[in-house]
Amino acid sequence: MISDPRALDDPTILQLATEFEGHPDNAAPALMGGVVLSWMEGGAARAVPLSCADGVLRPVVLLPSATLSTHQARGLLPEQVPHADAVHNASRAALLVHALAGAPELLLEATEDRLHQEQRAPGMPESIELMRVLRREGHPAVVSGAGPSVLVLSGHRSDLAPLVRRFVADPTAWRIAEVPLREVPSAPVVG
């Protein structure tokens, strides 16, 4: 047992959390706050904060009462993907960084996915359908992580919860939470 919490610095905490979870995608933002880009370099977890333009990101998370384990959700993914789909997602990832940094009008296009979301539809049909409806209505919505939560991004400074609620067939089956972002002043790369 470690008696002095200062004995673990941020890179060590990120590495330990990554080893426990398997990737830094959740650990890095929990550790650093705000929007964080994370990656693996060999076996080392790395992360850097992304500065979002003021007012660009207003996330709303739709949390269904239904659950799906990450293991089950990952099991729905194919072993291999077509090259064209991989290229599509790589270009959208780059576009997403640009959209978050100051071009919210590109968030819908930047959040297009060909590798994860539709493939998981059998395990979370309600989440995928809600995401489809929101996207058809022009809202940048994605399955959050492995799902089944749905994340909606907006570039507007308005309360999205009432807008989103009208697309939910059974409001008692979903909890809607607007997530405030904590901007982190130019933190260094962790890891």
Q: Which of 4-13, 94-103, 140-149, 179-188 has the lowest mean pLDDT?
A: 179-188
Q: Is 177 helix (H, G, I), strand (E, B) or coil?
A: strand
**Whether pLDDT at 158 is above 70:** no
* 22: region left, alpha or beta (phi > 0 left; psi from -120 to 50 alpha): left
Provide the residue ranges of all domains of the chain, joining segments of one domain with +. 1-50
Please give the pLDDT value at position 39: 94
Instruction: Read off the pTM.
Output: 0.82
pLDDT value of position 185: 53
What rounded mean pLDDT belongs to the chain? 84
Regarding predicted confidence, which is higher, 46 or 54? 46
Dihedral sign for Cα 39, 41, 45, 48, please.
negative
Range 23-28, long-range pairs (CB < 8 A, 24+ positions)? 24/191, 25/145, 26/145, 28/190
So what's the pLDDT on residue 1? 46
The per-residue pLDDT for range 48-101, each reduced to its tens digit, is 998 887 766 778 888 888 888 888 888 888 899 999 999 999 999 999 999 988
Predicted confidence band of residue 26 (pLDDT cuts 50, 70, 90)? confident
Kindly tell me if the per-residue pLDDT of 34 is higher than 60. Answer: yes
Residue 191 confidence (pLDDT) above 70: no
Residue 122 has pLDDT above 80, yes or no: yes
% residues pLDDT > 90 (the chain): 34
pLDDT at 59: 84
What is d(CA 168, CA 112) in angstroms, rounded to the nearest whole number?
21
